[in-house]
Amino acid sequence: MITKETTIEELVEEVPGAVTYLMEQHIRCIRCGEPIWGTLEEAAREKGYDDVRIQKFVDDLNAMKKEQAV
């Protein structure tokens, strides 16, 4: 399960489509082909997102993970 404490590296490994999703949210998750260190929450807070928006990211990413498992 993805949480706000999930590291960007783990997230990209578990849900490759997360890269595109996060880029659409203006959250940088890769640099020079390598995952950015830190958690989803840290990356989102860097861009000024609040708790409500971060929870939406978590929910969306868990839905993406579930879809890819089908």
Q: How many residues does the chain have?
A: 70
pLDDT at position 12 is 87
Q: Indicate whether 54 belongs to any domain.
A: yes
Low-confidence ranges of the chain (pLDDT < 70): 30-36
Token duo for residue 16: 């490759």
Q: Indicate whether 2 belongs to any domain.
A: no
Q: Name the pTM for this structure.
A: 0.87
pLDDT more than 90, % of the chain: 67
Average pLDDT of the chain is: 89
What φ, ψ does residue 30 adopt, rounded to 5°? -140, 150
Over residues 8-21, the pLDDT tens digits come to 889 989 999 998 99
Residue whose tokens read 């404490």:
5
Q: Indicate whether 47 belongs to any domain.
A: yes
What type of residue is 16?
A: P
Distance CA 1, CA 11 (A): 10
Q: Indicate whether 3 belongs to any domain.
A: no
DSSP 63: H
Distance CA 70, CA 42 (A): 30
Could you give the number of structural domains in the chain? 1
Range of the domain at 32: 8-69
